[in-house]
Amino acid sequence: MLAVERRTYILNKLRKEGRVQVGELSRELQVSRMTIHRDLDYLAEKETRVKKVFGGAVFEGEVHHEHGKCAMCGKPIPSRTAVVLQTISGERVEACCPHCALLLIETRDDILSGMATDFIYERIMNMKSAVYLVHPDVVVCCDPPVLCFGDERDAQRFQCGFQGEIMSLEEAKEHVVFHMTLAMT
């Protein structure tokens, strides 16, 4: 595949999904990570809406996300783990789980607020007031699994049966970003 073809593919993916990851593109396009980094450098220089971020790039323009699909990983949005983020411009960004929402918050600088779903009761709550259980022995869509709870006592009871570590929003975000950084090396 020629460089121009790769860059067109990457730009189209950015416009559709809003973000790309170096490792994922490297596997999809069967080229080295360094080649992808060079392609992203080129696109960030030539296309003002492409911003290179740690581990990939984001598209800073109108992104056409498929409704009902995660803006981070593209998976369907389950009701028990759904998160909706609001951008400064008023765009609604959906995530399949708190894991992906935390990564979106880390990689985008336009997120204003977020509403998460309580894993037990499926009630909607502000992400800032939620309690997060990271790495429970429960299979959800992304790894490391992160579950939201509206009440710390519920998180503690769930932790008794399924392990994991209870964290605040910032602690959970740092943990997921750190874990994903290790996974990319």
Break the chain into its structural domains and give their ranges.
Answer: 3-59, 83-184
SS3 105: helix
Position 184 confidence tier, pLDDT thresholds 50, 70, 90: low
- Could you please state the CATH topology (level 3) that the domain comprising 3-59 is classified under: Arc Repressor Mutant, subunit A (1.10.10)
Kindly calculate the radius of gyration of the chain based on its CA atoms and give it in whole angstroms: 17
CA distance 79 to 70: 12
What was the pLDDT predicted at 180? 81
User: Euclidean distance between the first and final Cα of the chain, in Å?
Assistant: 25
The 10s digit of each residue's pLDDT in 105-125 is 998 888 999 999 999 999 999
The proportion of the chain whose per-residue pLDDT surpasses 70, expressed as a percent, equals: 94
The 10s digit of each residue's pLDDT in 64-97 is 555 678 888 888 899 899 999 998 878 889 999 9
The verdict on whether omega for the bond into residue 145 sits within 30 degrees of 0, i.e. cis, is no
CA distance 183 to 185: 6
**pTM, rounded to two decimals:** 0.65
Q: What are phi and psi of 120, to 5 degrees?
A: -85, -50
CA distance 136 to 85: 23
The 10s digit of each residue's pLDDT in 163-181 is 999 999 999 999 998 888 7
